[in-house]
């Protein structure tokens, strides 16, 4: 092994300011991973002796570890300063080697993954070419075998994918859609991105609450998916931040949501049947609140919800909504399949977009029509996300939307929050509205929320 590699690594680390991981090095230089690890070690050694500008390293330690009385095998990537500590804690050290070398002190492990991501992606077919892990039975399937497996469990992967996507929907675009549709994929991705971004006119809390909502939703639907773990952690943190009086409700809802996952989508769907685009989010608020109330033993809330719905229906504005309501019910029926969930998701997908954009709606509907497999996925994702938004501390927000439409107030997000404040003697959120407006909206929104509750229950039964 010639000494050129030292110069190469030097160039990468110092001139390009890269993080050099052993995997990236092995793929770049075309050497076996063990060779790459040794190269990094020698480089580090060399540089440390020369006392040149500070280099940082991370190490991979693998060995037996007793965690709270449970023995197990642990593999950890640690910074240099934590290395000795970890080695001392382990009962048996199987291997220690350099994981990466870089100039920057990394605050977290995120960039380490990013570094390898592109290198592995470029070499996808042969990323294990230089790997030390071998399995004789792991042979890529031939195209015929692939087609067979694809045909058979076609349904099974799509719910998994849907669950995955619901978990990832919030911050990430959907890479699985991209290979299928180039430009259409862009618009499909834009829909959730837009709904996220157009939440500007919406209360501030909803933003923070949406990831929580998504997180809670992904929990019941969770399949083994590492991405879910990010959100799974969120769920545990969020209840602390929610309004105190609502903590119990939120927790109960989250717990019950797991059990009542089937009921949730159908009631959510039922809710949305009765609404139309302008108060889209409000409907979902009502829906979410409706599910919540059904699960928590608070009848007062339930009544208020249904009354809101009733009053909403009796409004003059509602006539338009009713027309749309009828249209909506007709639309998904041709597409209806066995599951209750599916017919509602085109609506929900449309209702998701807070600012009604006809072109986007048309696109999303036609888009969902075009590819049945993708349609299923999209619907599910939207469905879940909506439920989540409502389940978490965002109850306040969701109810708020609903109240807005019924009381015919302007975007009075703060005043809308008054509605749940009726039931929960929480502190009124800091707002810059006049008191009179608040009071009148308070009353109407309280009534409005009552009206919706009953209607939603009816919808629930009709759905069944």
Partner 1 sequence: MTTLTRQDLNFGQVIADILCEFLEVAIHLILYVREVYPSGIFQKRKKYNVPVQMSCHPELNQYIQDTLHCVKPLIEKNDAEKVVVVIMDKEHHPVERFVFEISQPPLLSISSETLLSHVEQLLRAFILKISVCDAILNNNPPGCSFTVLVHTRDAATRNMEKVQVIKDFPWIVADEQEVHMQEPRLIPLKTMTSDIVKMQLYVEERAQKT
Question: Residue 139 or 224: which CB sits closer to partner 1?
Answer: 224
Q: How far apart are CA 241 and CA 198, in angstroms?
A: 24
How far apart are CB 420 and partner 1 at their closest, in Å? Answer: 17
> What are the backbone dihedrals phi and psi of residue 337, each rounded to the nearest 5 degrees, phi first?
-125, -160
- Beta carbons of 254 and 219 less than 8 angstroms apart: yes
207: contact with partner 1 by CB under 8 A? yes
CA dihedral 280→286→288→292, nearest 10 degrees, is: 180
x/- mask, partner 1, residues 345-384, rule CB under 8 A, reads: --------------x-------------------------
200: contact with partner 1 by CB under 8 A? yes
How far apart are CB 208 and partner 1 at their closest, in Å? Answer: 4
429: contact with partner 1 by CB under 8 A? no
Q: Which stretch binds partner 1 (CB under 8 A): 20-28, 44-52, 107-115, 320-328?
A: 107-115
Q: How far apart are CA 390 and CA 224, in angstroms?
A: 24
How far apart are CB 388 and partner 1 at their closest, in Å? Answer: 15
Q: How far apart are CA 153 and CA 229, in angstroms?
A: 25
Among 92, 141, 227, 362, binds partner 1 (CB under 8 A): 227
Q: How far apart are CA 279 and CA 265, in angstroms?
A: 19
19: contact with partner 1 by CB under 8 A? yes
**In terms of Cα–Cα distance, which of 10, 105, 4, 80 is closest to 52?**
10
85: contact with partner 1 by CB under 8 A? no
69: contact with partner 1 by CB under 8 A? no
**In terms of Cα–Cα distance, which of 294, 269, 272, 460 is closest to 380?**
269
Residues between 134 and 193 that touch partner 1 (CB under 8 A): 168, 170-173, 175, 178, 182-183, 185-187, 190, 193
Q: How far apart are CA 23 and CA 51, in angstroms?
A: 26
- Beta carbons of 115 and 334 less than 8 angstroms apart: no
Q: Which residues bind partner 1 (CB under 8 A)?
A: 17-19, 102-111, 113-115, 117-118, 168, 170-173, 175, 178, 182-183, 185-187, 190, 193-194, 197, 199-201, 204-205, 207-208, 211, 227, 230, 234, 359, 432
């Amino acid at each position: 092994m010639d000494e050129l590699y030292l110069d190469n690594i030097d160039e990468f680390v110092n001139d390009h300011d890269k993080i050099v991981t052993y995997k990236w090095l092995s793929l770049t230089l075309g050497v076996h991973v063990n060779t790459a690890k040794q190269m990094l070690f020698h480089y580090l050694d060399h540089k440390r002796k020369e006392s040149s500008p500070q280099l940082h390293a991370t190490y991979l330690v693998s060995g037996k570890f007793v965690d709270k009385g449970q023995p197990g095998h642990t593999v950890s990537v640690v910074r240099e300063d934590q290395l000795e500590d970890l080695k001392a804690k382990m009962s048996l050290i199987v291997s220690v080697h350099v994981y990466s070398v870089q100039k920057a002190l990394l605050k977290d492990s995120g960039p380490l993954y990013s570094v390898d991501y592109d290198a592995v992606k470029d070499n996808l077919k042969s990323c294990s070419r230089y790997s030390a892990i071998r399995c004789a039975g792991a042979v890529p399937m031939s195209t015929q075998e692939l087609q067979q497996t694809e045909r058979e469990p076609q349904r099974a992967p799509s719910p998994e994918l849907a669950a995955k996507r619901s978990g990832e929907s919030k911050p990430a675009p959907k890479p699985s859609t991209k290979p299928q549709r180039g430009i259409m994929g862009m618009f499909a991705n834009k829909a959730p991105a837009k709904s996220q971004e157009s939440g500007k006119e919406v209360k501030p809390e909803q933003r923070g609450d949406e990831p929580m909502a998504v997180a809670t939703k992904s929990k019941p639907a969770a399949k083994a998916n590492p991405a879910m773990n990010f959100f799974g952690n969120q769920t545990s943190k969020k209840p602390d931040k929610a309004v105190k009086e609502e903590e119990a409700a939120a927790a109960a809802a989250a717990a019950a949501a797991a059990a009542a996952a089937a009921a949730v989508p159908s009631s959510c769907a039922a809710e949305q049947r009765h609404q139309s685009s302008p108060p889209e989010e409000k409907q979902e608020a009502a829906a979410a609140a409706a599910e919540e109330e059904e699960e928590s033993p608070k009848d007062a809330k339930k009544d208020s919800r249904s009354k809101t719905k009733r009053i909403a229906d009796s409004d003059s504005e509602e006539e338009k909504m009713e027309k749309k309501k009828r249209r909506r019910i007709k639309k998904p029926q041709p597409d209806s399949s066995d599951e209750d969930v599916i017919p509602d998701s085109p609506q929900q997908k449309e209702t998701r977009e807070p600012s009604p954009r006809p072109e986007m709606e048309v696109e999303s509907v036609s888009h969902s029509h075009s590819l049945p497999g993708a349609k299923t996925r999209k619907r599910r994702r939207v469905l879940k996300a909506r439920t989540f938004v409502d389940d978490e501390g965002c109850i306040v927000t969701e109810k708020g939307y609903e109240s807005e439409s019924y009381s015919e107030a302007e975007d009075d997000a703060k005043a809308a929050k008054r509605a749940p404040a009726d039931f929960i003697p929480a502190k009124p959120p800091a707002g810059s509205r006049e008191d009179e407006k608040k009071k009148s909206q308070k009353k109407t929104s309280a009534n409005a929320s009552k009206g919706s509750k009953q209607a939603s229950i009816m919808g629930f039964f009709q759905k069944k």
